[in-house]
Amino acid sequence: MLALALALGLGACLPDTDKSAEGEARKDEDGQVVARVDGEEITIHQVNSELQRSGLLGSADEAARDAALQAIVRRKLLANAAMAERLDRNPLVVHNLEAARDAVMGEAYMMQELAVVTEPSLTEIDDFIARNPLLFTDRRSYVVRVIEMPSEAYTDEFVPLFDETPDFTAFKRELLGAGVAFDEARSIRLSSDFPEAVRERLAQLGVNDNLVLRTRSATQILKVEAITPMPLSTEQARVAARSILLQDRLRRTAGTLDQALAAKAEIAYYGAFDHLNPQADEPALERIGPLDPDGAAAGEPGAEAGAEAEAGPEAEAEDASAVPAIRGAAAADTM
């Protein structure tokens, strides 16, 4: 009886290897586990997540799924090798792991908050189209030739050299003679590609007219060589307008969320970053976003702009970096 009791007691304490193996087999049979690396499982959910990050989720391409799985396997092999070398204790690795975790958690929180953003209504879309004809119904294609030079070397004395001639020949000759460095480019761009301030000024110009754009560091002179009407159909305009309005709502919601989080948090900067602390008469978070090389907040006109345009929903879609010939949204002078 004692031996039987001991056997029963030991049996209760030992893991049920049969049930454990049965569970593993069931997971394999369900297709959840698609690989193992040194005993660590890789599931189909991980493969799908990998495909989603690559923008291929839902793809029936076997090669894409195989490549995703192989990428996961490679990462695990490298990670296991790093752990064996105790690289997880390296301060730089620790910092990078913390940064990666913060980025993933932050993105997850932002996506959760942005999920409540509503789609623009058809009325809102049509109203936006009506208020921005140069983006849609009166969209145009421009062939422009551009001279870019340092702002410190530009003077209004140059104006007759390009404003009274059909090309930049005399202007370039003068710049070369004066030893002024410059770049020249020719491009074809839609009116919808330009920042609003530039787009509105271009709409007032004709062939061989010029537009001067100034920032503190560089000045660009645009000469219009050709203009071609390229309006969008009603359906095309609605698709484009919906995208612009939705992106603007997402951007504004994200910005509001950033400000709210910063307002609730206790943030202090030290040492070389002490200047980032708000002054007593300044808001806690005056600007959000990167600064351009000239020190203006992203999306703001340059310091020498001749006019400032109110930021509208299309501002997000009008990234000046998408127009190599145009830097910033500052339209200084029209000649």
> How sure is the predictor about 111, in pLDDT bands with cuts at 50, 70 and 90?
very high
Q: What whole-number distance in Å separates Cα of residue 51 and Cα of residue 189?
A: 34
**Residues in CB range of 220: below 8 A, 6 or more apart:** 146, 147, 148, 149, 212, 213, 214, 325, 326, 327
Which residue ranges make up each domain of the chain? 28-90, 121-260+285-335
Query: What is the rounded distance in angstroms from the CA atom of residue 183 to the CA atom of residue 169?
Result: 13
Closest CA to 33 of 21, 19, 20, 47: 47
Q: Is the pLDDT of residue 50 over 50?
A: yes
Residue 54 has pLDDT above 70, yes or no: yes
Question: In the prediction, which pLDDT does 62 show?
Answer: 85
**Plot region of 289 (φ>0 → left; ψ -120 to 50 → alpha; else → beta):** left
User: Residue 313: pLDDT band by 50, 70, 90 thresholds?
Assistant: low
Q: Which of 204, 205, 201 is nearest to 326 (CA)?
A: 201
pLDDT at 22 over 60: no
Q: What pLDDT, on the 0 to 100 scale, is given for residue 219?
A: 94
**Tens digit of each residue's pLDDT (9 = 90 or more) over 185-231:** 999 999 999 999 899 999 999 999 999 999 999 999 999 999 999 99
Mean pLDDT, all residues of the chain? 80
Nearest Cα residue to 69 out of 43, 44, 47, 41: 47
Contact 185, 324 (CB under 8 A): yes
Q: Which residues contact 149 (CB under 8 A, 6 or more apart)?
A: 175, 180, 181, 182, 183, 218, 219, 220, 221
> How much is the pLDDT for 291?
33
Binned at pLDDT 50, 70 and 90, residue 72 comes out as: very high
Q: pLDDT value at position 325?
A: 37
Q: Taking 70 as the threshold, does the pLDDT of residue 7 lie above it?
A: no
Give the pLDDT of residue 142.
96
- Residue 8 is predicted with a pLDDT of 41
pLDDT mean over 98-103: 96
CA distance to 12, 188, 206, 264, 324, per residue, from 142 (Å): 82, 6, 10, 48, 14
Contact 301, 328 (CB under 8 A): yes
Please give the average per-residue pLDDT across 148-156, as a whole number: 93
